Structure 1
Amino acid sequence: MSTMTESTQSPKTGAESRADVVALQRTWWERNGRTTSIWAARIALIVALVAVWQLAAGRLFDASFTSRPTDIWARLVDWNADGTLWMHSWITLQEVVYGYALGSAGGALLGFVLASVPTFYKVLDPFIMALYAIPKVALAPLFIVWFGIEMDMKILLAAVTVFFLVFLNTAAGVREVDRGLIDAVRLMGGGRRDIALKVVLPASMTGMLTGLKVAIPYALIGAVIGELVASNRGLGYLISNSAATFDTAGVFATLVVLSVIAAILNFLVGLLDHRVSRWKPAEART
């Protein structure tokens, strides 16, 4: 009887272990097939839209109003050759990055601090929402009076635009923290510092990261609005100048560049989100 027990509990042989490992291995398509299919569908959609646009321009609608993908590409090549693209893109990129960083830092910090004091947050809530409701384009003339037409004005306009989005999402994340977790930390002898750093801060990261993602295009909007209102540099100026000369290819070319900048910034925030959210289940991070 003991012999039978020992034989049933004996470790697997090397061949059996290797067989189990092989059985658990997945093919490349099983691991990456879904992502590959999604990207293939995206590329196919873009190619189809560009092809329809190219064929329809001049046939179904006036190309002077919509331009053509080939004309837009030619404009980008010309601007790249003479340095126009890089000079104006660098100006706008600085305004967007500095404004985004300033607005995000202020929004996340104040959102975390104020929402951690519920009574104080309720007192300020109607005033914050009133300021949030002000169209940011209406602030541009006032910012010109206060800060002039240099880069500082565009940075601050982008920062104000980003601030409220990050603030409100961070505050929402703080206010939605599970009270059971807070009570558990208190029962284990934790103080306010432990609750803030070990419970509230990690739990509020989801809201803050949502605000950071949503705020990316708004940082671009703030900077470009400032350039449209008063500037002789930047991508907003390129849009304004191209529209004034009825150069629709130039307008669309600038919009393409702005879309690329937004995509790159969104990708970087996505990397941050993935790194910070490693503690979540895989389903919650998809």
Structure 2
Amino acid sequence: MTEQLVSPERQAPGGGPVRIPVERTWWQRHGRTTTVWALRLLLVVVLLTGWQMAAGSLFDITFTSKPSAIAERLGEWSADGTLWTHSLVTIQEIVYGFLLGAATGALVGFLLASLQLAYRVIDPFMMALYSIPKVALAPLFIVWFGIGMHMKVLLAAATVFFLVFLNTAAGVREVDRGLVDAVRLMGGNRRDIALKVVLPSSMTGVLTGLKVAIPYALIGAVIGELVASNQGLGYLINDAAAQFDTAGVFATLVVLSVIAAVLNVLVGLIGRRVNRWKPVEAQG
């Protein structure tokens, strides 16, 4: 059962729209989503089947491996604990780096974008720092912080910071000035404007920054592991590549993709909860 909004002529006494329960079948409610997921699964099956059949005939498995070999390597690493040990290290680096970079990026973006003069002064410097390839920072971070987990966490955080900062600042600067003026006319102070207008209105920019930053947190952590590490999925890629184990490299990439997908789903769930304040039409 779902609810349907009626026309303005049939409004509730309080002025809001009337919600009338509408009986819908399971397929009417979930059919489109089910179709999308079925097509996605079909696409994956077709691609993997084509890859498996072409491996050894059209492609040299030395360079491309094949899905069955990748699955076998994942099974071996799962059985002996290699996969779980290295995955846990990388997940910790990604999560800590993402949280640190996202928190500081959102806070600095919100504060600076609220101060127009300060933002105009700082903006070109932020863009200059953002343009530096993060892989170029890895050697410097090694000198500063060593090759332990701290270096990977801070490298991931530095990558995430700029993406969240820029999107948060854009969200703050695009707040409807009419709403701000309305709160001022009603006697609201700067705190009321910041917490009741600017913060909710800028959440779209914050959430966009968080979603965009997820793969970059992973990239930052793995880059640090590729440059200097003796544990983690980046180290596992290096080790497999050194032994020309293409199946091992692809297996590690599969694990990294799964981690990124799970983090993306979590941010999406947070986004739905945060956006509950929006009108029904805006929630889509």
- Name the TM-score, length of structure 1 as normaliser: 0.91
Aligned residue number for residue 261 of structure 1:
259
Q: What letter matches 1:80 in structure 2?
A: S
5+ residue gaps, structure 1: 1-20
1:81 to partner: Cα distance:
0.5
1:169-190 alpha-carbon deviations (Å, 9 max, x no partner):
0000000000000000000000
RMSD: 1.3
Aligned residue number for residue 131 of structure 2:
133
Aligned residue number for residue 164 of structure 2:
166
Query: Structure 1: how far apart are the matches of 2:200 and 2:118?
Result: 22
SS at match of 2:58: coil
SS at match of 1:194: helix
1:119-155 alpha-carbon deviations (Å, 9 max, x no partner):
1100011111000000000000000000000000000
1:91-240 matches, within 5 Å, as 91-240=89-238
Query: Structure 1: how far apart are the matches of 2:274 and 2:192?
Result: 19
1:61 to partner: Cα distance:
1.1
Q: Which is helix-richer, 1 or 2?
A: 1
Aligned residue number for residue 276 of structure 1:
274
Query: Structure 2: how far apart are the matches of 1:101 and 1:238?
Result: 24
Is 2:28 the partner of 1:30? yes
1:216 to partner: Cα distance:
0.3
1:278 to partner: Cα distance:
1.4
1:63 to partner: Cα distance:
1.0
1:239-285 alpha-carbon deviations (Å, 9 max, x no partner):
01111110000000000000000011000000000001112244533
Aligned residue number for residue 46 of structure 2:
48
Aligned residue number for residue 7 of structure 2:
none
Q: 2:58 aligns with which of 60, 82, 90?
A: 60
5+ residue gaps, structure 2: 1-18
Query: Structure 2: how far apart are the matches of 1:47 and 1:23?
Result: 39
Query: Structure 1: how far apart are the matches of 2:166 and 2:201?
Result: 15
Q: What letter matches 1:105 in structure 2?
A: A
Query: Structure 2: how far apart are the matches of 1:271 and 1:156?
Result: 26
Aligned residue number for residue 86 of structure 1:
84
1:196-248 alpha-carbon deviations (Å, 9 max, x no partner):
00000000000000000000000000000000000010000000111111000
**Misfit runs of 4+, over 2 Å:** 21-24, 279-286
Query: Structure 1: how far apart are the matches of 2:160 and 2:21?
Result: 50
Aligned residue number for residue 17 of structure 1:
none
| Bigger Cα Rg | 1
Is 2:69 the partner of 1:71? yes
Query: Structure 1: how far apart are the matches of 2:91 and 2:185?
Result: 49
1:18-73 alpha-carbon deviations (Å, 9 max, x no partner):
xxx99930111111111111111111111111111101111111111110100000
Q: CA 1:283–1:248 in structure 2 vs 1: closer, same or farther (change >3 Å)?
A: farther
Query: Structure 1: how far apart are the matches of 2:197 and 2:39?
Result: 40
Query: Structure 1: how far apart are the matches of 2:42 and 2:278?
Result: 32
- Name the TM-score, length of structure 2 as normaliser: 0.92
SS at match of 2:108: helix
Q: CA 1:156–1:22 in structure 2 vs 1: closer, same or farther (change >3 Å)?
A: closer
